[in-house]
């Protein structure tokens, strides 16, 4: 497929701009070993996979600096590329930001202070917030700028230190296992069970276009789900429909949901 045909696969101006940039990188990697996109959101990963699968002669994978990263770069090559190759060559750095006083800071605090330096969101990967510090993954060209210019998170003085990406141990993800039954595996039913909400409340989120399945907005609450589908509500977190089992005597369906906290 040519470039125009590939772009027609994508709806939405922002997604088309993102895909256009990735296709520029595709051309670049035909003349060099690897090419990397900026950091992509989970939704952008879904869109870019759809397009890259239609590009002949290109191998690709994704890496965010550690296993399980949410925001990742697309790593592309004209030769076979695996996850280790992608990580070892990725232009990703990790900066640890430590407030000098004991104060609980949020993901929004860290992100806001970094964006306040004029850095674009696509240059920033995951921000992992711990009790006494935050680890920020970013495009490596930005790391030095952060080290010398970021001295506060919000109104709290902070110190920055470069970390070794290749030795980084990702945090354990806290999750809750929910065994329950539903009348059907419709999106609204599974979402209500996973988030512990009434169907009425869940419908409000659908109407407000805040419900996503596999990072694509879903407005139809009757959408049928499958094992492995990721359901998220903007601002409320996410769940995974981990398993669909048999039916009960009352014809309800046994399901297992993982809810990330």
For 191-202, the pLDDT digits (tens) are 999 999 999 999
Q: Return the ∠ at Cα 13 (arms to 236 and 16), rounded to 5°.
A: 100
The neighbouring-strand residues paired with 35 are 76
For the entire predicted model, the pTM comes to 0.81
Tokens 């309800």 correspond to: 252
Burial degree of 178 (CB within 10 A; 0-12, 13-18, 19+): middle
231 neighbors 187 (Cβ within 8 angstroms): yes
Instruction: Write down the pLDDT at residue 80.
Output: 86
Instruction: Write down the pLDDT at residue 169.
Output: 83
The list of the chain residues with pLDDT below 50 reads none
Instruction: Write down the pLDDT at residue 261.
Output: 67
Instruction: Write down the pLDDT at residue 104.
Output: 85
Q: How many residues are present in the chain?
A: 261
Instruction: Write down the pLDDT at residue 12.
Output: 83
For 214-256, the pLDDT digits (tens) are 988 899 999 999 999 999 998 888 999 999 999 999 999 999 9
The neighbouring-strand residues paired with 135 are 96, 128
2-13 burial, b if ≥16 CB within 10 A, otherwise e? eeeebbeebeee
Task: State the DSSP string of 8-61.
Answer: HT--SHHHHHHHHHHHHHHHHHTSSS-EEEEEE-HHHHHHHHHHHTTSTT-EEE
Query: Which CA distances in Å does 22 have to 8, 16, 26, 32, 132?
Result: 14, 10, 6, 15, 36
Instruction: Write down the pLDDT at residue 102.
Output: 84
Tokens 């996410």 correspond to: 238
From the CA atom positions of the chain, what is the Rg in Å? Answer: 21
Neighbour tally for 149: CB within 10 Å: 12
């Amino acid at each position: 497929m040519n470039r125009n045909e590939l772009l027609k696969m994508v709806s939405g101006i922002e997604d088309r701009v993102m895909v256009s940039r990735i296709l520029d990188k595709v051309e670049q990697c035909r003349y060099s070993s690897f090419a990397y996109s900026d950091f992509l959101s989970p939704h952008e990963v879904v869109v870019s996979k759809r397009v890259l699968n239609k590009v002949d002669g290109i191998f690709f994978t994704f890496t965010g600096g550690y296993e399980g990263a949410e925001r990742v770069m697309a790593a592309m090559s004209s030769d076979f590329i695996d996850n280790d190759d992608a990580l070892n060559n990725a232009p990703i750095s990790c900066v640890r930001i430590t407030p000098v006083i004991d104060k609980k800071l949020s993901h929004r605090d860290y992100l806001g202070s970094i964006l306040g330096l004029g850095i674009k969101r696509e240059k920033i990967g995951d921000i992992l917030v711990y009790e006494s510090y935050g680890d920020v993954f970013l495009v490596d060209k930005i790391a030095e700028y952060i080290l010398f210019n970021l001295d506060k998170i919000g109104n709290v003085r902070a110190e920055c230190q470069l970390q070794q990406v290749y030795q980084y141990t990702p945090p354990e993800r806290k999750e809750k296992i929910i065994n329950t039954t539903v009348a059907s595996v419709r999106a609204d039913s599974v979402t209500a069970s996973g988030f512990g909400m009434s169907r009425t409340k869940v419908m409000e989120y659908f109407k407000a276009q805040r419900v996503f399945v596999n990072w694509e907005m879903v407005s139809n609450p009757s959408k049928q789900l499958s094992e492995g589908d990721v359901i998220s509500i903007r601002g409320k977190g996410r769940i995974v429909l981990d398993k669909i089992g048999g039916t009960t005597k009352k014809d309800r369906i046994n399901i297992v949901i993982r809810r990330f906290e």
